[in-house]
């Protein structure tokens, strides 16, 4: 089955409407409808929410050979999937992002102080570095800022730039926008991205 078919099957097995299911994942009903109709792929955030809320493995959603949706019985030990910007690891973060994050963390000397400065737990970051969990978009923003790296680059590598922004706003304009947002907190930047995505949705419909 395709990812959308699997998500639809799981939703129905949970006896949830699309609206109820979407609300539990923090997304719009229309977005779930598009996924279930295989018009678009589930985002990293949706895959993470599926795991957090329903304990459903992202490996099960993305791979045909995984038959059990629950991670304890469906662990995959090697990168096998193409998704978004690059090859996906077992934890479904692009390898290009993980390699960049590893390199940037290795280059800092005061690692204890660095981890202590984060709201994202050190254990979560270390699991992500091993390809065993998905970092939220907010955590990616926080890590970029803590490591003094361009937020735009980290979000691009992690495939967290919303489709609405990619389709409507020129790359140079997006880079300038993030440079202006550096004084905000990771939470505030995350909220700004959501707000911009919602504003741009009508334009993506007319340009698609």
Nearest by Cα to 40 from 193, 204, 152: 204
Phi-psi region of 136 (alpha: psi -120 to 50; beta: other; left: phi over 0): beta
Check residue 142 and give its pLDDT.
Answer: 92
Helix H segments across the chain? 3-13, 18-25, 29-36, 44-54, 58-62, 95-106, 111-116, 122-129, 137-146, 151-157, 163-168, 171-180, 186-207
Give residue-wise pLDDT tens across range 162-179. Answer: 777 777 667 677 677 777
Q: Quick one: average pLDDT of 59-69?
A: 69
Is residue 22 scored above 80 in pLDDT?
A: yes
Nearest by Cα to 153 from 169, 81, 143, 82: 143
Tell me how far apart the alpha carbons of residues 33 and 163 are, in angstroms, rounded to a whole number: 16
Q: Quick one: average pLDDT of 5-32?
A: 88
pLDDT bin (cut points 50, 70, 90) of residue 70 is: low
Give residue-wise pLDDT tens across range 80-118. Answer: 333 333 333 444 678 888 889 999 999 998 889 999 999
Is residue 34 scored above 80 in pLDDT?
A: yes
Is residue 195 scored above 90 in pLDDT?
A: no
Q: What is the dihedral of CA 175, 181, 182, 183, to 10 degrees?
A: 160
Check residue 146 and give its pLDDT.
Answer: 93
What residue ranges define each of the domains in the chain, with the CATH number in brackets? Answer: 3-76 (1.10.260.40), 95-207 (no CATH)
Name the pTM for this structure. Answer: 0.53
């Amino acid at each position: 089955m395709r990812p959308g078919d699997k998500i639809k099957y799981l939703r129905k097995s949970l006896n949830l409407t699309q609206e109820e299911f979407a609300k539990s994942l923090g997304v719009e009903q229309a977005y779930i409808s598009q996924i279930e109709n295989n018009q678009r792929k589930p985002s990293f955030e949706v895959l993470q929410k599926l795991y957090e809320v329903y304990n459903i493995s992202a490996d099960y959603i993305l791979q045909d050979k995984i038959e059990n949706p629950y991670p304890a019985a469906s662990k995959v030990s090697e990168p096998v999937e193409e998704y978004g910007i690059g090859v996906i690891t077992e934890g479904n973060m692009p390898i290009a992002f993980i390699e960049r994050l590893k390199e940037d963390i290795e280059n800092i000397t005061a690692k204890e102080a660095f981890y202590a400065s984060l709201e994202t737990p050190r254990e979560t970051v270390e699991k992500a570095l091993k390809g065993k969990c998905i970092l939220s978009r907010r955590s990616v923003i926080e890590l970029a800022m803590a490591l003094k790296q361009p937020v735009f680059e980290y979000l691009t590598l992690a495939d967290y730039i919303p489709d609405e922004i990619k389709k409507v706003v020129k790359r140079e304009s997006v880079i300038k926008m993030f440079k202006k947002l550096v004084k905000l907190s990771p939470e505030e930047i995350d909220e700004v991205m959501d707000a911009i995505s919602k504003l741009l949705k009508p334009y993506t419909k007319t340009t698609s």
